[in-house]
């Protein structure tokens, strides 16, 4: 007997027929003797419809009202799934965020979960094994008593938080892919599904554009050590391979201690939506980095890679990346501060891609970066900037070389199937 | 300065454009210096869509889940109206039933309101005159903490209960008609709009098929003496006639003491969806009425008119009406009990109509009934059954004579415009 959280996204609950299919997935786990809490999103398209009504009513609208409106989508699917389960003879009830409660801060529209009270859910597990069907994406801010939402993709975060709140053995994220791959299979047909990924690795992959899971859900899973399992919702719920003991097909995101043999490199991720900004000939004196990045922070622009070389003759160059959507605003914010920073020119490019090599194993292996630089160089790919962390090497290159670079690195690190 | 509740139904909030129109109605009252709580229904069609999903998921479904699902419709419109008001510069916020709370019993799907806590609404009236936008039709059952709904048309009841809870001076029900008429204007073109109707009269009219207001909302208004005003939501919110002092066009439903000169007869109502059942040759002994009506109650069939004549030779006939939809079930229930009741035959008819003459004034006037019987007789209309109350005379006649009878009575009692 295990305690599970099962999370289903919008396409999995898009209509009553699919909701019934979700109920069959739940039934399989109940029949295997497990305790189950389900977290659901709104029917696909519903949240967009509700958001559009808010915008039509007022372009700038009260985020508290927005939250009350959009949270209604999950209210509907949680109720319908509870009915579908009951129809199959499985005791079940729906829970809205305010009913448990799932308490959050007051950052309406992108609230953070502070606590999930799972007491009543657990009591009902012990007392008749009632399935808890929880509306994802939403919570309540106490003491204002108003409905909050977690922002797009927030149902993943709800699921992990519920798993932590009820001390679940595993959090199963059912999605439209069957796991986490070594890289995007659309670019590298030889990409392999990973059986296990460490939290830290997944965090890098999620934040680097592998859109399987919301970043915050991975952070939360790491903090609370919630074993999170990414699997497909489109397989037949009654398929024999889903009835095996142990872990069914998919990718388990877990503590690195659970991964017996770490690969040096686990995956190759890439992000196309970053732009490069370089400011040239900056006087190299204390406080100059602050002089550059405070104006960007005040303009609410996220800066990612930052590269600063040692100076030559008292001047240096600083290169960094920003989301492509913020490129023009970033240049404008810097131009406004040109006098105080004292740089000579701003250069930039939007036709760039950031490619990252990720692997917990590289902490204990030398020469990982050198191997990448050599391989790219042999293919004539110029590296614009480099930044590294303990478990990641990122290079910024021309976007035209994206596929070639990803395939080359995938092969060089022995990831091809 | 007055304290108002304004209620808008589904067609008035069917899309963002109409919600904006509702906001203009509210703005007019705010500009006149009033305090306003608004009660809204779901967008027209939304509740039906949600109900259909419940039925598609399971024909017999948990009423608690049904309530959570269908209550989401009002959650959306309350939020959107709050945004629309804010966009016009009017402080406003939405309130769900569980937030105030509006507490109800646990009869999910047709719950009764037990209490409306209006403290916070009133505090916010005094402190910045914030408009309260309240989701109609819904409440919360305490202590189960689950969402309840009041049944179809429940938003009228919500509005009256909120008016009682905040001690409003008036409850304005905006609807697709501009008031209460002496009878249905589609049948009698000379029907007049009434300026005022007593609660008791409106109760009879509402229960007799004049579908302007839900019966329970009128009961509640009578108990709490909530002055309730029926008016059109389709007039231009900025029309000069709506900016008069005192009561704008519409019908006020109020205590009879507020009606200076009561007419003897206020209106003629009719109900087509009743069927007549007669059981013949029943032994006239104590307990025989119970013998007839207990089986019907057990079958959950509402009985309306009941007529029993004095007996002849120890036997009597009993005639009553039931909803046409329950006609066959009523006959079957009685047939099952034929041995214990001891009647000889069951007769019945569905092509009948109940016509009622309603007026508080008839309490102090003699001859009101006689006038009706004479007029109908002169037109050759046969009366199948008669029942009377203090303020109502009902006759059951063949449905073919409906229009003729209504027009005749409307004219006889001086109601023609």
Q: What ipTM does this complex have? A: 0.84
Q: What is the pLDDT of residue B218?
A: 93
Quick check: helix, strand or coil at residue A247?
A: coil
Kindly tell me if the per-residue pLDDT of A47 is higher than 70: yes
Q: Which of A63-77, A145-159, A307-321, B145-159 has the lowest mean pLDDT?
A: A307-321
Mean pLDDT of A166-176: 94
**Residues A284, A388 within the same domain:** yes
As to burial, measured by CB atoms within 10 angstroms (0-12 exposed, 13-18 middle, 19+ buried), residue A40 is: buried
Contacts of B16 in chain A (CB under 8 A): 53, 56-57
Interface contact A58-B87, CB threshold 8 A? yes
Q: What is the pLDDT of residue A395?
A: 93
Contacts of A61 in chain B (CB under 8 A): 83, 86-87
Check: CB of residue B166 under 8 Å from CB of residue B127.
Answer: no
Check: CB of residue B110 under 8 Å from CB of residue B153.
Answer: no
Mean pLDDT of A391-396: 92
| Sheet of B92-95, strands arranged across | B92-95, B131-135, B35-40, B3-8, B170-175, B228-232, B251-254, B196-198
Packing angle of the helix pair B46-57, B72-87 (nearest 10 deg): 150
Nearest residue on chain B to A69, judged by CA atoms? B76
The more confident residue out of A343 and B364 is: A343
**Residues A233, A275 within the same domain:** no
Distance of residue A411 Cα from the nearest chain B Cα, in angstroms: 49
User: H/E element holding B199?
Assistant: helix B199-207
**Residues B47, B132 within the same domain:** yes
Structure tokens given for B32? 């006149």
Distance of residue B129 Cα from the nearest chain A Cα, in angstroms: 18
Cα-based angle A81, A86, A88 (whole degrees, multiple of 5): 100
Distance of residue B114 Cα from the nearest chain A Cα, in angstroms: 20
Cα separation, B74 vs B410, whole angstroms: 39
- For the stretch A183-198, pLDDT in tens is 988 899 999 999 999 9
Q: What is the pLDDT of residue B103?
A: 97
The more confident residue out of B30 and A302 is: B30
Interface contact B76-A72, CB threshold 8 A? yes
Last residue of a domain, one of B256, B274, B302: B256
Contacts of A82 in chain B (CB under 8 A): 62, 65
Interface contact B54-A80, CB threshold 8 A? yes
Q: What is the pLDDT of residue B245?
A: 61
User: H/E element holding B18?
Assistant: helix B16-31
**Residues B377, B340 within the same domain:** yes
Give the residue from A20, A21, A83 with the most B CB atoms within 10 Å of its CB, the best one to mutate. A83
The more confident residue out of A362 and B158 is: B158
Contacts of A57 in chain B (CB under 8 A): 16, 19-20, 80, 83-84, 87
- Count structural domains, chain B: 2
Interface residues of A toward B, Cβ cutoff 8 Å, are 16, 19-20, 50, 53-54, 56-58, 61-62, 64-66, 68-69, 71-73, 75-76, 78-80, 82-84, 86-87, 93-94, 96, 98-99, 145-147
The minimal CB distance from B76 to the residues A62, A69, A78 is found for: A69
Mean pLDDT of A351-370: 90
pTM as predicted: 0.86
The minimal CB distance from A84 to the residues B58, B68, B98 is found for: B58
Contacts of A83 in chain B (CB under 8 A): 54, 57-58, 61-62, 65-66
| Sheet of B345-349, strands arranged across | B306-308, B315-323, B274-283, B345-349
Last residue of a domain, one of B256, B281, B305: B256
Cα separation, A10 vs A151, whole angstroms: 14
The minimal CB distance from A57 to the residues B53, B73, B80 is found for: B80
Quick check: helix, strand or coil at residue A97?
A: coil
Rounded alpha-carbon distances, angstroms, from residue A85 to A21, A158, A231, A402, B173: 10, 21, 21, 46, 40
Pairing of strands A315-323, B3-8: unpaired
Q: What is the pLDDT of residue B247?
A: 61
Mean pLDDT of A293-319: 86
Q: State chain A's mean pLDDT as an integer.
A: 92
Cα separation, B173 vs B121, whole angstroms: 19
**Residues B239, B297 within the same domain:** no
Nearest residue on chain B to A21, judged by CA atoms? B57
Contacts of A65 in chain B (CB under 8 A): 79-80, 82-83, 86, 93-94
Closest listed residue to residue A50, CA positions, set A71, A77, A79:
A71
Interface contact A86-B54, CB threshold 8 A? no
Closest listed residue to residue A410, CA positions, set A361, A383, A376, A360:
A376
The more confident residue out of B263 and A379 is: A379
Kindly tell me if the per-residue pLDDT of A262 is higher than 80: no
Backbone angles phi, psi at A96, to 5 degrees: -85, 160
Last residue of a domain, one of B197, B228, B256: B256
Interface contact A61-B145, CB threshold 8 A? no
Cβ-based neighbour number of residue B127 at 10 Å: 9
Q: What is the pLDDT of residue B210?
A: 60
Contacts of B96 in chain A (CB under 8 A): 68, 147
Kindly tell me if the per-residue pLDDT of A152 is higher than 80: no
Cα-based angle A81, A87, A92 (whole degrees, multiple of 5): 55
Pseudo-torsion of CA B295, B296, B298, B302, nearest 10°?
A: -160
Contacts of B57 in chain A (CB under 8 A): 16, 19-20, 80, 83-84, 87
Cα separation, B299 vs B122, whole angstroms: 45
Is the preceding peptide bond at B44 cis, omega within 30 degrees of 0? no
Give the residue from A47, A80, A90, A130 with the most B CB atoms within 10 Å of its CB, the best one to mutate. A80
Flag residues of chain B having pLDDT under 50.
none
Q: What is the pLDDT of residue A308?
A: 81
Contacts of A147 in chain B (CB under 8 A): 96
User: Any idea which residue has 């509306």 for tokens?
Assistant: A135
**Residues A202, A319 within the same domain:** no
Question: B148 is in which domain, residue-wise?
Answer: 3-256
The minimal CB distance from A72 to the residues B72, B82, B146 is found for: B72
Interface contact B87-A50, CB threshold 8 A? no
- For the stretch A114-123, pLDDT in tens is 999 999 999 9
Check: CB of residue A280 under 8 Å from CB of residue A343.
Answer: yes
- For the stretch A53-92, pLDDT in tens is 999 999 999 999 999 999 999 999 999 999 999 999 999 9
Distance of residue A20 Cα from the nearest chain B Cα, in angstroms: 8
Check: CB of residue A134 under 8 Å from CB of residue A114.
Answer: no
Question: What percent of chain A is modeled with pLDDT above 70?
Answer: 98
**Residues A281, A354 within the same domain:** yes
CATH number for the domain spanning A13: value is 3.40.1160.10
Quick check: helix, strand or coil at residue B134?
A: strand
Rounded alpha-carbon distances, angstroms, from residue B229 to A128, A243, B131, B192: 50, 63, 19, 16
CATH number for the domain spanning B298: value is 3.30.2130.10
Check: CB of residue B266 under 8 Å from CB of residue B357.
Answer: no
Mean pLDDT of A203-230: 87
| Sheet of A113-116, strands arranged across | A113-116, A102-104, A138-141, A146-149
Give the residue from B42, B83, B90 with the most A CB atoms within 10 Å of its CB, the best one to mutate. B83
Distance of residue B57 Cα from the nearest chain A Cα, in angstroms: 6
Q: What is the pLDDT of residue A247?
A: 61
**Residues A320, A251 within the same domain:** no
Cα separation, A278 vs A308, whole angstroms: 10
**Residues B303, B250 within the same domain:** no
**Residues B154, B293 within the same domain:** no
**Residues A34, A79 within the same domain:** yes
- For the stretch A9-24, pLDDT in tens is 999 999 999 999 999 9
Cα separation, A345 vs A101, whole angstroms: 53
Closest listed residue to residue B97, CA positions, set B147, B131, B38, B132:
B147
The minimal CB distance from A75 to the residues B69, B86, B93 is found for: B69
**Residues A277, A242 within the same domain:** no
Nearest residue on chain B to A49, judged by CA atoms? B76
């Amino acid at each position: 007997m295990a305690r599970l959280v099962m999370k289903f996204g919008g396409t999995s609950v898009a209509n009553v027929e699919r909701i019934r299919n979700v109920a069959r997935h739940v039934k399989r786990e109940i029949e295997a003797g497990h305790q189950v809490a389900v977290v659901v999103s709104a029917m696909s398209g519903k949240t967009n419809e509700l958001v559009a009504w808010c915008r039509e009513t007022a372009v700038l609208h009260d985020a508290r009202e927005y939250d009350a409106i959009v949270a209604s989508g999950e209210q509907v699917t949680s109720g319908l799934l509870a009915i579908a389960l009951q129809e199959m003879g499985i005791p079940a009830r729906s829970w809205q965020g305010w009913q448990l409660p799932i308490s959050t801060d007051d950052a309406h529209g992108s609230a953070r979960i502070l606590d999930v009270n799972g007491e009543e859910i657990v009591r009902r597990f012990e007392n008749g094994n009632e399935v808890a069907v929880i509306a994802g994406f939403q919570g309540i801010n106490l003491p204002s008593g108003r409905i909050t939402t977690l922002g797009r993709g927030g149902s993943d975060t709800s699921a992990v938080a519920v798993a932590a709140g009820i001390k679940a053995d595993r959090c199963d994220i059912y999605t439209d892919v069957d796991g986490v791959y070594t890289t995007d299979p659309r670019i590298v047909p030889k990409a392999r599904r990973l059986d296990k990924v460490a939290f830290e690795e997944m965090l890098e992959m999620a934040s680097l554009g592998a859109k399987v899971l919301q970043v915050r859900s991975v952070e939360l899973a790491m903090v609370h050590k919630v074993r999170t399992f990414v699997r497909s919702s489109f397989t037949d719920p009654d398929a024999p391979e889903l009835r095996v003991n142990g872990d069914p097909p998919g990718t388990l995101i877990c503590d690195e201690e659970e991964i017996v043999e770490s690969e040096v490199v686990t995956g190759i991720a890439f992000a196309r939506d970053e732009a490069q900004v370089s400011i040239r000939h900056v006087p190299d004196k204390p406080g100059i980095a602050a002089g550059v990045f405070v104006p960007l922070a005040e303009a609410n622009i996220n800066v990612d890679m930052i590269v600063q070389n040692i100076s030559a003759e008292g001047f240096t160059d600083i290169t960094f990346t920003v989301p492509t959507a913020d490129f023009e605003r970033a240049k404008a914010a810097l131009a406004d501060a040109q006098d105080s920073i004292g740089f000579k020119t701003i250069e930039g490019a939007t036709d760039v891609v950031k490619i990252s090599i990720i692997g917990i194993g590289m902490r204990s292996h030398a020469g990982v970066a050198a191997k990448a630089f050599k391989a790219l160089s042999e293919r004539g790919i110029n590296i614009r900037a480099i930044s590294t962390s303990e478990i990641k090497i990122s290079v910024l290159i021309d976007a035209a070389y994206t596929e070639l670079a990803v395939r080359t690195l995938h092969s060089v690190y022995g990831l091809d199937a």
